[in-house]
Amino acid sequence: MSSRESLIESTRALLWERGYVGTSPKAIQQRAGAGQGSMYHHFSGKEELALAAIQRSAELLRQAAEEQLSTEATAYARIEAFLRRERDVLRGCPIGRLTQDPDVMATPALRAPVEETFAWLRGRLTAVLREGLERGEFPGTLDPATTALTIVAVMQGAYVLARADDSPQRFDEAVTGILGLLAAHSRTE
């Protein structure tokens, strides 16, 4: 891994663990095994490096989601696969956790990839639900956009509940609940 990649990956991990304020340039350099000169050779400062790390986290989240959401299965099955995919629940969502970081949310450049990622996810889920409607998998009364928003909200809340109780079971229970509601509207499940 190049020193640039190591810096980005180290920053991703530290942002996920500690947030923006808790992620010092020194901590990044130590975790990356890179010197200050290397860091400032590749990035103008902590904000630019944090932006690259947030963008990478967003890209990885989109790739992981797309694996389940782009199959030929029913809309319900694709959403279920997305919600039940393997994840480190007790660490929380690497993008969702950033919404609780006042410094990230107050910095437009850092906030932008967070907003864009959630907008993308809502849009992608909306498209899957709309496909399900068009295939007759759901009744015409199902609103794809608000249902997609609800799925994202439940998923993010499930991370919070799991962390609060120190139990991945809370995440699983919330996912089971939202899938039960969706299945109640499904004509194929």
Number of domains composing the chain:
1
CATH number of the domain residue 8 falls in: 1.10.357.10
Please give the backbone phi and psi of residue 35, each rounded to the nearest 5 degrees, phi first.
Answer: -85, 170
User: What CA–CA distance (Å, rounded) separates 16 from 22?
Assistant: 10
34-82 confidence digits (pLDDT tens): 888 888 888 888 999 999 999 999 999 999 999 999 999 999 999 999 9
> Model confidence over 108-159: pLDDT tens digits?
999 999 999 999 999 999 999 999 999 999 988 999 999 999 999 999 999 9
Res 169: pLDDT: 97
Query: In terms of residue numbers, what domain contains 168?
Result: 3-185
This prediction has a pTM of 0.91
Q: How confident is the model at residue 188 (pLDDT cuts 50, 70, 90)?
A: low
